[in-house]
């Protein structure tokens, strides 16, 4: 039993090192009786597949990479096309993603991923609109991203939160002051590299 | 320095200790006499880093963190996280468990709305409504106590179903309870809704159009009060919500009164849902057969549900281990609170309380 | 004034202070019990039988509490404000009779004296607001100034109307004048105006704007604690009791209704006791009505309060005075005056109701069927 748990924690560490999305864990590294890491199921329904094709077509100019997250469509665009692609998603008459649900920032340790969860009240579409931001200073902080606050005003506080916790700097955002943390706080606690358990100065 | 004789504006720092900011919320108001010129909301006093904490807890432990987000509708929160994990693992939750989840969540929705009703009365200066609503809330919490063992922070909805079977007299007690609740809700309605002073305080105050509400990202009852028919239970049904007939109350004016009345009407609809669920539910297991340690497959998933305060979403990244790689909560109160700034511009100082109260924020969820 | 007279007066005043303190304690107990009943509670029950000693315990707690003074406060203004609020509300009681003999000084100008002193507490409130060096307190103090000045006018106009009708400012004479028919029947409009404006003068719900708990957190009193806050509290309840007593003196016939019984008893002490008992019960009933209002209504907003004051109460009170003046000048019988009053009141209520319910739909929230929404979304 002991052996088993140590093996699983070993595999945890391994995953954390390179948890790149959609990449298989090398089977050779798998422990003898350790858990097999499987991939999430793809259960896109017909409407979702339709949306996937539609978005791929409409965003063709902006190099989209389509994907599936269980039952939702993912679309990833390069960071330089983010703003233009967002405008298309909002204004295209076939898509009309008029509702900004959330901005999730995920630290994949090699890069940050910004996930804009969008929703179209008109058609009922939901989409995960993603973009990767590279780290700048050796994984410590501040990548620059265009602010989507002008496109979806709802993004205001979400972007501030992302800046607060992950150090993503949104250019064009008028107020990048800390939102959740206090003003004197140093570091970006959302990042995996933040010394979470050792942090004592509170 | 010479004082500026033309200075007419005054900064009023409302909160974090203030009786009607509903928690540790602070807003810096710039007032000109009784008029609000500008407002700067400050949040984060209750930031506990729940999302970050989740990364060092196992999946079943994260459920307890979700209890503490929106601490007046705990079961609804638990449900969303469990739904996300279940979706990722493709677990078929037994039907009985799903019905029980719906019954409990709708009861929790009523409890949460009753709290809103009472505190909104207090905000408006009426001290009696909260006593009436808390009497009913107490009954719901007593039921929860006998079912889950706790009055708050239940940790009852688990991944794959429920913690355990409900007590034998559950059905009878719920039936009694909803009988009492439906009369009590009418009582609450007559107590405050049509009061002339209350009408004059809330009608036409803090109006926001449907378009503006969508743009600013409002959700839940405040969004519906502006006339947008948007309820996750109907537009993107989860669990077994597609089996029920119920109404979605939608306002027409988008003012504070509509935002007050939509939850009140929602309570009645919740009772309808509970009645139907009690009729349909059958005996059976309440938890799916699962391995003891939850290890979802590697991938990302988004699940959301209609909470009392709106559309609560969970964006979950799993790396295949027994701990989530990243949990991102989409908090409805946070989104609703963003609307405070446009709503408060040029309002009266006294309306700040009325408008903030009508957004029904819970700071545990805003700050996470 | 001889030494003896001065001594007796002193005795009266200290006795009055004692009596008023007891009255305030009883009022607080009554308020908590009445509010508790309105809210399906039982109110205080633990300290003493039926919680009767609760208010005494609270008073002891308040007195022994630390008196905190804000560092930035304007010290002299800050300390003197509670006294300036309390003294006028206490002085009022010098002239309020509880029967024809139970009174400190039955002044000929009693009504004038009472009105003059009721206004004064506003100075203390504004000073408290300013002296506390707190923005909530400043807002509260300014609100108090606006509110009290506005509602002073209707109160004074109603009192002037009564003075015109009775040709006197002596409170006991006014009570005697109500012997056949009390003024609640003759001047219901006057009672209506006096009671509402009186509530506003007291700053009680629905007019508790300057101390609004949920907005300015107690207004001018926000920085006070301990004994100084207790003095404000005392003043508030003494004033409440004064307005209630005035209402029963001016409109409910004071101690006059029981005069047959008083005559039947014959014994002067017994008659006085019965008169006092009647007045006492009436005053407490009015107080209960004030508490009842507190348990029922939300609070007005400042602009609505001002609009009500200047657009409704003030014009109506002028109409009232004119009405009474005409009636007195032409010697109309009392029932004509009463009928006109009732007509004005009913018209007012009807008009207000119509104004409030201008929207055609009483409930602006409509139900959409979830099934239809679901089906529409799926297709």
Q: Do B315 and A115 count as a contact with CB atoms less than 8 A apart? A: yes
Distance from CA of B54 to the nearest CA of C (A): 34
Average pLDDT score, chain A = 76
Q: Which residues contact C83 (CB under 8 A, 6 or more apart)?
A: C124, C231
Which among B315, B337, B368 has CB closest to A104?
A: B315
pLDDT of res. A188? 81
Which among C40, C208, C368 has CB closest to B131?
A: C40
Task: Give the C-alpha separation, C191 to A25, whole Å.
Answer: 86
Q: Do B313 and A102 count as a contact with CB atoms less than 8 A apart? A: yes
Quick check: bond before B160 cis, omega within 30? no
Residues 203-242 of B with CB under 8 A from C: 203, 225, 229, 231, 233-237, 241-242
Mutate to test the interface with B, among C145, C364, C379 (most CBs of B within 10 A): C364
Percentage of residues in chain B having pLDDT higher than 90: 26
* Contact by Cβ (8 Å): C135, B10: yes
pLDDT of res. C221? 87
Question: A13-27, A115-129, C162-176, C205-219 — which is least confidently predicted?
Answer: A13-27
β-bridge mates for residue A74, sequence order: A67, A128
pLDDT of res. A4? 44
Please tell me if residue A20 touches chain B, with a CB cutoff of 8 Å.
no
Of C122, C97, C111, the closest CA to residue C157 belongs to: C111
Which whole number is the average pLDDT over B136-159? 90
Residue B7 confidence class, pLDDT cut points 50, 70, 90: low
Which whole number is the average pLDDT over A179-194? 81
pLDDT of res. C289? 92
Question: Which tokens hold the place of A150?
Answer: 């002008």
**Residue the block writes with tokens 């509708």:** B73
* Contact by Cβ (8 Å): B121, B128: yes
pLDDT of res. A14? 42
Choices 3.30.479.30, 3.40.50.1820, 1.10.645.10, 1.10.1040.10: CATH for B9-367? 1.10.645.10
pLDDT of res. A70? 84
Task: Give the C-alpha separation, A88 to A92, whole Å.
Answer: 5
User: CA-CA distances (angstroms) from residue C14 to A86, C87, C238?
Assistant: 79, 13, 15
Residue B113 has pLDDT above 90, yes or no: yes
3-state SS of C218-266? CHHHCCCCHHHHHHHHHHHHHHHHHHHHHHHHHCCCCCCCCHHHHHHHC
Please tell me if residue A27 touches chain B, with a CB cutoff of 8 Å.
no
Please tell me if residue C366 touches chain B, with a CB cutoff of 8 Å.
yes
Cα angle B86, B88, B89 (rounded to 5 degrees) comes to: 65
Residues 149-178 of A with CB under 8 A from B: 152-157, 165, 178
β-bridge mates for residue B26, sequence order: B42
Mutate to test the interface with B, among A42, A102, A109, A173 (most CBs of B within 10 A): A102
Q: Is the dihedral of CA C370, C375, C376, C378 positive or negative?
A: positive
State which H helix or E strand residue B306 sits in: strand B299-307
pLDDT of res. C100? 78
Displacement of CA C71 from its chain's centroid (Å): 34
CA dihedral A156, A159, A160, A162 (to 10 degrees): 160
Residue C191 in 3-state DSSP? Answer: helix
Please tell me if residue B261 touches chain C, with a CB cutoff of 8 Å.
yes
Which whole number is the average pLDDT over A87-108? 87
* Contact by Cβ (8 Å): C124, C84: yes
Residue A17 has pLDDT above 60, yes or no: no
Residue B326 in 3-state DSSP? Answer: strand
Residue B24 has pLDDT above 90, yes or no: no
Question: Which tokens hold the place of C113?
Answer: 């004296």
Residue A6 has pLDDT above 60, yes or no: no
Which among B20, B193, B247 has CB closest to C367?
A: B247
Q: At what angle do helices C268-296 and C188-202 cross, to 10 degrees?
A: 70
pLDDT of res. C360? 55
Which whole number is the average pLDDT over A129-145? 71
Distance from CA of B1 to the nearest CA of C (A): 18
Percentage of residues in chain B having pLDDT higher than 70: 98
pLDDT of res. A21? 45
Q: Which residues contact C10 (CB under 8 A, 6 or more apart)?
A: none
Mutate to test the interface with A, among B319, B341, B367 (most CBs of A within 10 A): B319
Task: Give the C-alpha separation, C125 to B129, whole Å.
Answer: 30
β-bridge mates for residue A58, sequence order: none
DSSP annotation of B156: -
Residue A144 confidence class, pLDDT cut points 50, 70, 90: confident
* Contact by Cβ (8 Å): B311, B116: no
Q: Which residues contact B335 (CB under 8 A, 6 or more apart)?
A: A154, B216, B217, B218, B219, B310
* Contact by Cβ (8 Å): B344, B14: no
Which among B125, B203, B269 has CB closest to C298?
A: B125
Chains that touch A (3 or more CB pairs under 8 A): B
Task: Give the C-alpha separation, B110 to C81, whole Å.
Answer: 47
Task: Give the C-alpha separation, C31 to C46, whole Å.
Answer: 16
Which whole number is the average pLDDT over B106-132? 90
Domain A46-171 falls in which CATH fold? Answer: Beta Polymerase; domain 2 (3.30.460)
B-chain CB neighbours of C213 within 8 Å are 19-20, 125
* Contact by Cβ (8 Å): C32, C54: yes
Q: Do A190 and B335 count as a contact with CB atoms less than 8 A apart? A: no
**pLDDT tens digits for range B42-67:** 888 888 888 888 888 888 889 999 98
Which whole number is the average pLDDT over B145-171? 88
pLDDT of res. B315? 92
What residue ranges do the domains of chain B occupy? 9-367
pLDDT of res. B3? 54
Q: Which residues contact A53 (CB under 8 A, 6 or more apart)?
A: none
CA-based radius of gyration for chain A = 19
Of C235, C238, C228, C237, the closest CA to residue C65 belongs to: C228
pLDDT of res. B13? 86
Phi, psi of B168 (to 5 degrees): -65, -35
Residues lower than pLDDT 70 in chain C? 1, 357-362, 379
State which H helix or E strand residue B35 sits in: strand B35-42
Of B35, B27, B40, B39, the closest CA to residue B8 belongs to: B35
pLDDT of res. B274? 92
Nearest residue of A to residue B90 by CA position?
A41
State which H helix or E strand residue B13 sits in: strand B9-14
Task: Give the C-alpha separation, C290 to C284, whole Å.
Answer: 10
Phi, psi of B199 (to 5 degrees): -60, -45
pLDDT of res. B114? 92
Phi, psi of B288 (to 5 degrees): -75, 155
Residue B323 has pLDDT above 70, yes or no: yes
* Contact by Cβ (8 Å): B143, B46: no
Distance from CA of B6 to the nearest CA of A (A): 28
β-bridge mates for residue C336, sequence order: none
B-chain CB neighbours of C40 within 8 Å are 131-132, 135
Task: Give the C-alpha separation, B366 to A179, whole Å.
Answer: 11
Among A81-95, B69-83, C12-26, which range has the highest average pLDDT?
Answer: B69-83
* Contact by Cβ (8 Å): C301, B348: yes
Write down the ipTM of this complex: 0.85
Residues 203-242 of C with CB under 8 A from B: 205-206, 208-209, 212-215, 217
DSSP string, chain A: -HHHHHHHHHHHHHHHH---TT-PPPGGGS-SSPPPP-BPP----HHHHHHHHHHHHHTGGG--EEEEETTEEEEE--GGGHHHHHHHHHH-TTT---EEEEEEEEE-SSEEEEEEEEE-TTT--EEEEEEEEE-SSTTSS-EEEE--TTT-TTHHHHHHHHHHHH-EEEET-S----SSS-TT--S-TTSTTS-TTT----
Distance from CA of B157 to the nearest CA of C (A): 25
Longest dimension (CA), chain C: 100
B-chain CB neighbours of A100 within 8 Å are 217
């Amino acid at each position: 039993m002991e052996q088993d748990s140590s093996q699983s924690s070993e595999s945890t560490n391994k995953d954390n090192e390179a948890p790149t999305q959609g990449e298989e864990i090398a089977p050779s590294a798998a422990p003898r009786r350790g858990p097999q890491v499987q991939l999430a199921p793809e259960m896109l329904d017909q409407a979702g597949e339709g949306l996937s094709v539609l978005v791929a077509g409409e965003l063709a100019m902006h190099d989209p990479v389509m994907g599936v997250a269980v039952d939702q469509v993912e679309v990833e665009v390069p960071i330089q096309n983010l703003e233009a692609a967002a405008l298309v998603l909002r204004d295209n008459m076939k898509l009309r993603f008029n509702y900004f649900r959330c901005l999730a920032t995920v630290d994949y340790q090699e890069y940050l991923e910004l996930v804009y969860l969008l929703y179209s009240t008109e058609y009922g579409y939901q989409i995960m609109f993603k973009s990767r931001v590279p780290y700048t200073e050796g994984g410590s902080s501040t990548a620059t991203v265009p602010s989507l606050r002008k496109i979806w005003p709802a993004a205001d506080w979400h972007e501030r939160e992302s800046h607060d916790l992950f150090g993503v700097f949104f250019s064009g955002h008028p107020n990048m002051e800390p939102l959740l943390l206090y003003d004197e706080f140093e570091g970006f606690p959302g990042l995996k590299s933040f010394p979470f358990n050792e942090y004592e100065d509170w | 320095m010479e004082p500026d004789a033309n200075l007419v504006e005054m900064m009023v720092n409302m909160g974090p200790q203030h009786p009607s900011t509903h928690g540790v919320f602070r807003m810096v108001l710039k007032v000109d006499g009784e008029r609000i010129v500008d407002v700067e909301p400050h949040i984060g006093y209750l930031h506990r880093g729940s999302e970050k904490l989740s990364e060092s807890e196992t999946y079943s432990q994260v459920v307890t963190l979700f209890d503490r987000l929106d601490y007046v509708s705990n079961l609804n929160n638990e449900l969303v996280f469990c739904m996300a994990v279940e979706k990722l693992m493709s677990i078929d939750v037994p039907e009985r468990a799903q019905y029980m989840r719906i019954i409990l969540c709708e009861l929790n929705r009523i409890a949460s709305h009753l709290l809103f009703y009472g505190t909104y009365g207090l905000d408006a200066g009426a001290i009696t409504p909260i006593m009436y609503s808390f009497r009913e809330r107490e009954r719901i919490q007593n039921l929860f106590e006998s079912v889950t063992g706790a009055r708050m922070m239940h940790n009852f909805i688990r991944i794959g179903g429920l913690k355990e079977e409900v007590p034998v007299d559950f059905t009878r007690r719920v039936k009694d309870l909803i009988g009492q609740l439906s009369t009590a809700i009418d009582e609450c309605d007559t107590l405050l809704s049509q009061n002339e002073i209350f009408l004059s305080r809330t009608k036409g105050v803090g109006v926001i159009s449907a378009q503006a509400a969508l743009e600013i990202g409002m959700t839940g009852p405040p969004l519906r009060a502006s006339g947008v028919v948007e309820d996750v239970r109907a537009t993107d049904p989860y669990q077994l919500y597609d089996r029920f007939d119920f109404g979605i109350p939608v306002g027409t004016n988008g003012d504070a009164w509509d935002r007050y009345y939509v939850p009140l009407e929602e309570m009645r609809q919740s009772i309808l849902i509970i009645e139907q669920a009690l009729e349909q539910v059958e005996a059976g297991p309440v938890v799916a057969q699962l391995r003891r340690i939850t290890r979802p497959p590697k991938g990302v998933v988004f699940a959301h549900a209609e909470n009392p305060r709106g559309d609560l979403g969970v964006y979950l990244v799993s790396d295949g281990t027994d701990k989530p790689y990243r949990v991102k909560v989409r908090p409805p109160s946070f989104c609703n609170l963003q609307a405070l700034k446009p709503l408060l511009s040029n309002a009266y100082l006294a309306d700040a309380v009325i408008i903030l109260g009508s957004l029904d924020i819970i700071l545990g969820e805003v700050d996470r | 004034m001889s030494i003896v007279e001065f001594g007796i007066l002193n005795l009266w005043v200290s006795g009055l202070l004692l009596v008023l303190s007891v009255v305030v304690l009883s009022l607080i107990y009554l308020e908590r019990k009445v509010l508790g009943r309105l809210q399906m509670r039982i109110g205080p029950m633990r300290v003493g039988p039926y919680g009767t000693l609760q208010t005494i315990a609270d008073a002891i707690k308040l007195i022994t509490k630390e008196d905190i003074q804000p560092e930035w406060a304007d010290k002299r203004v800050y300390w003197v404000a509670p006294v300036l609020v309390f003294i006028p509300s206490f002085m009022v009681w010098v002239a309020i009779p509880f029967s024809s003999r139970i009174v400190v000084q039955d002044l000929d100008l009693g009504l004038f004296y009472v009105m003059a002193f009721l206004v004064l507490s506003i100075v203390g409130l504004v000073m408290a607001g300013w002296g506390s060096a707190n923005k909530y307190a400043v807002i509260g103090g300014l609100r108090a100034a606006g509110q009290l000045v506005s509602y002073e006018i209707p109160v004074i106009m109603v009192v002037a109307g009564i003075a015109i009708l009775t040709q006197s400012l002596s409170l006991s004479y006014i009570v005697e004048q109500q012997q056949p028919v009390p003024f609640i029947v003759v001047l219901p409009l006057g009672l209506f105006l006096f009671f509402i404006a009186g509530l506003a003068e007291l700053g009680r719900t629905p007019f508790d704007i300057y101390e609004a708990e949920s907005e300015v957190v107690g207004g001018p009193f926000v920085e006070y604690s301990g004994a100084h806050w207790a003095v404000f509290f005392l003043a508030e309840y003494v004033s409440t009791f004064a307005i209630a007593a005035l209402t029963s003196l001016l409109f409910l016939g004071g101690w006059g209704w029981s005069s047959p019984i008083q005559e039947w008893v014959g014994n002067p002490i017994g008659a006085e006791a019965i008169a006092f008992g009647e007045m006492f019960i009436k005053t407490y009933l009015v107080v209960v009505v004030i508490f009842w209002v507190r348990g029922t209504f939300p609070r007005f907003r400042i602009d609505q309060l001002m609009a009500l004051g200047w657009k409704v109460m003030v014009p109506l009170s002028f109409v009232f005075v004119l009405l009474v003046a005409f009636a007195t000048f032409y010697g109309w019988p009392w029932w004509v005056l009463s009928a006109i009053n009732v007509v004005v009141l009913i018209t007012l209520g009807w008009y207000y109701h119509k104004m409030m319910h201008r929207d055609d739909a009483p409930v602006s929230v409509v139900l959409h069927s979830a099934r239809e929404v679901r089906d529409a979304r799926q297709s």
